Amino acid sequence: MNGPMLSRQRGFSMMEVLVSILVFSFGVLALVQLQAASIRLSSDARYRADAAFLADQLFARMLISAEANAADFAHRPGGTACNSVGGDASAPSAAEWLLEVQEVLPGATPDLQQVTVNAATGQVTVTLCWQQGNDVPRQYVVSNQIQWQ
Cα first-last separation, the chain:
102
Stretches in the chain below the pLDDT threshold 50: none
Per the structure, the count of domains in the chain is: 1
Q: What is the pLDDT of residue 65?
A: 79
The pTM assigned to this predicted structure is: 0.76
Residue numbers of the domain that contains 50: 2-145
Distance of alpha carbon 92 from alpha carbon 68, whole angstroms: 8
The reported pLDDT for the residue numbered 40 is: 81
Check residue 3 and give its pLDDT: 55
CB 74 within 8 A of CB 89: yes
Distances (CA, A) of 18 to 21, 26, 31: 5, 13, 20
- Residue 110 contacts residue 127 (beta carbons within 8 Å): no
Whose CA is closest to 81, among 132, 130, 46?
130
User: For residue range 42-84, what is the model confidence (pLDDT) as tens digits?
Assistant: 888 999 999 999 999 999 998 887 666 878 899 999 988 888 8
Give the pLDDT of residue 66.
64
